[in-house]
Chains A and B, each alone.
Chain A
Amino acid sequence: DTAVSQTPKYLVTQMGNDKSIKCEQNLGHDTMYWYKQDSKKFLKIMFSYNNKELIINETVPNRFSPKSPDKAHLNLHINSLELGDSAVYFCASSQNPGELFFGEGSRLTVL
């Protein structure tokens, strides 16, 4: 059983479209995250939720909207996609601060 699973794994879309990435964790963790990894492998936190409550909201365009329907799920919706949004988006969860379990990533390509 995959601990942190994301779908889709690959996403190719046109500029201006809206897309969503879903994440689920079966570890029973209270905290979930979205990270963005660019082409140079640089990792930047975007959002974090603890028990469905938003606790970290970094400087991210408001075209990005996270949603946590319950503590096992954290989805990311992106409106009006731009070329610069192309990246790998990682979902992660943790129970102990700093000890993150990452999903396999969702590679988004905006054409």
Chain B
Amino acid sequence: GNSVTQMEGPVTLSEEAFLTINCTYTATGYPSLFWYVQYPGEGLQLLLKATKADDKGSNKGFEATYRKETTSFHLEKGSVQVSDSAVYFCALRGGGNKLTFGTGTQLKVEL
């Protein structure tokens, strides 16, 4: 079956540091890949997506590239802000409407 593995958190960074949150997946066929973000007390929001190999999704300074050869979709941001503190979820869609989520990685950004 499909599965998503994310790095354990929490990840604690200083403001303006570089962020990487690792995500790898197992799936048959050619899944679509997503990153969602959950701010405290809120529901998840779609951050970015990529639907085929070598696609790069980007939004709000965050980027992730769909790497089929390494089955990865790592999230990166060049300079994090305190307002980026949240839980980040990697997810894949193999077919149909079902999304498989990773376990989430909490990011804390300090001044």
Contacts and interface: CB of A to CB of B under 8 A. Distances in A.
Interface in B70-111: 87, 89, 91, 93, 96-99, 101, 103-104, 106
A75 interface: no
Contacts of B104: 41-43
A105 B40 CA distance: 11
Interface residues of A, number: 24
Interface of B: 32, 34, 36, 38, 41-46, 49, 87, 89, 91, 93, 96-99, 101, 103-104, 106
Contacts of B36: 100
A55 B43 contact: no
Contact of A98 (B43, B45, B87, B91): B91
A1 interface: no
Contacts of A104: 41-43
Contact of B43 (A4, A31, A48, A99): A4
Interface stretch (A62-70, A76-84, A89-97): A89-97
